[in-house]
Structure 1
Amino acid sequence: MSKRTMILSAGSSQLRKRAAIVTATLGATALLGAGAAVAADGTPGNAVAPKTVAASVQAQAQAQAKAAEQAKQAAAQAKQAAAKKAASWIDPVQTYKLSAGFGLGGSHWSHKHSGQDFAVPLGTNVMAAHTGVVVKAGGNGAGDGPAYGNAIVIKHSDGKFSQYAHLSRIDVHVGQTVTTGQHIALSGNTGNSTGPHLHFEIRNTPNYGSAVNPVDFLHSVGVKV
């Protein structure tokens, strides 16, 4: 072997060694990079493991299901409350003082007083005491006589009738369905009245002469008058 050949062979050997070192270095770098990638995907380090991600998704799904169930329950409760309100009785006016009571005698009435008077200012909101259908509405006591002034009579599903008299304005009509608490009129001083108030009756029929004590009746259905 010539001297030149030996030099070339030695040079090739050195190049192969350097190439091997470079290859090994690149491999190590690649391995380190792969390790970093794995760490980012959820192995030890600051990343989240696949099992942890799955648990988080499941927890979110459970929270959403719970929220949906709570919303469903809230809607059901609201529906029950609305149904309960529709089935309940209330006072026909909100703020009042009781004045002339049922069965009271005196010169103001040709017969004993047939209802309960609620002393309120002129123009007070008058509400339906219970859900029902308007069967009378108008002047002349809605057919019961001029002493009542402007009046309304509502028929209820339990067979009772409520009457509202001495009104200054009527805001419903015969045949109209009204709900508990719905505005139906404004209080007044029409008919045989000595001052602004609402005359309120509970009747067994739509007509005069069938009234019962309205305060006793309201008490019996849970209304504190």
Structure 2
Amino acid sequence: MSSTRTTNSTAAKAAALVAGLGATMALGAGAALAAEKAGEKNDGGIFSADVAKSLADSTLQQAQEQRKVTQAEKDAEKRAAEKKAKAARDAKRLQLSWIKPVAVKYELSASFGKAGGRWAHNHSGQDFAVKVGTPVEAVHKGTVVKAGGNGAGDGPAYGNAIVVRHDNGKYTQYAHLSQVDVRPGQTVRTGQVIGKSGNTGNSSGPHLHFEVRNTPDYGSAVDPKAAMAALGVRF
């Protein structure tokens, strides 16, 4: 009689464990094991202690594995959210920053103030020697005020050109382009490709002519290396 009560107690505990873990677990591996072991009942129709323990262990293992899967999913969601938040922070930081007009390897050729026979006055910008078709990027967010051929209104010597007004009151010019991808009035982001470098206008070879100006027009240029260095960008 004592043995029967012990067996009944063990089976009851196993059944309670199954019920506590929910219907999903009961219908899973634990319940399947119970059905498989049904033939192992003793003559009194009661599960043996070994069968009950096996059922409990199997159900517990299944619950632990389910928790691992759930935790892995939560970890993956957390990583995805952190990655998205970082991308948003980086994008915001980029829009507040200033960058170089080309992101590829370059050589600095003619510098600001250089004298030469190719210019009516001293050189008004900084030249970046890059191959034709190199993407040209807006050095800071702003609004396009000029874009097109004939130096965008500044004269044929500049070839195809673009001028962008920025939030600090300065203007940047990008000249000798092979391609213009923006139009006047268009808002541009920091790092947005606005055109492609070229060899148009009064140019002795493929390069980007870059200026920083106080106004949108020719004649107001300042030393771009010094102006950009003050904004944290060094050529």
- Normalising by structure 2, we get a TM-score of 0.71
Q: What are the residue-to-residue correspondences of 1:1-225 with 2, within 5 Å?
A: 29-30=43-44, 33-42=47-56, 47-48=57-58, 61-93=70-102, 94-225=104-235
Q: Check whether the contact 2:130–2:207 (CA below 8 A) recurs between aligned residues.
A: yes
Q: Name the SS for the 1:33 alignment partner.
A: coil
Amino acid aligned to 1:167: L
Deviation by residue 1:33-77 (Cα, 9 ceiling, x = unmatched): 3434422331xxxx2475x76666556555544443333222111
Q: Check whether the contact 2:42–2:48 (CA below 8 A) recurs between aligned residues.
A: no
Distance 1:194 1:96 in 2: 16
Distance 2:116 2:76 in 1: 64
| Bigger Rg over Cα | 1
1:68–1:113 CA distance, 2 compared to 1 (3 A): same
Distance 2:139 2:59 in 1: 64
Q: Name the SS for the 1:215 alignment partner.
A: helix
- Normalising by structure 1, we get a TM-score of 0.74
Distance 2:116 2:59 in 1: 90
User: What is the identity percentage for the equivalent residue pairs of Structure 1 and Structure 2?
Assistant: 52
Q: Which residue does 1:14 correspond to in 2? A: none
What CA RMSD, in Å, does the superposition of the two structures yield over aligned residues? 2.5
Amino acid aligned to 1:69: K
Q: Which residue does 2:34 correspond to in 1? A: none
Q: Name the SS for the 1:70 alignment partner.
A: helix
Q: Name the SS for the 1:30 alignment partner.
A: coil
Give the number of equivalent residue pairs.
194
- In structure 1, the gaps of 5 or more residues are 1-26
- In structure 2, the gaps of 5 or more residues are 1-40
Deviation by residue 1:92-130 (Cα, 9 ceiling, x = unmatched): 222221111011123322222111011122332222222
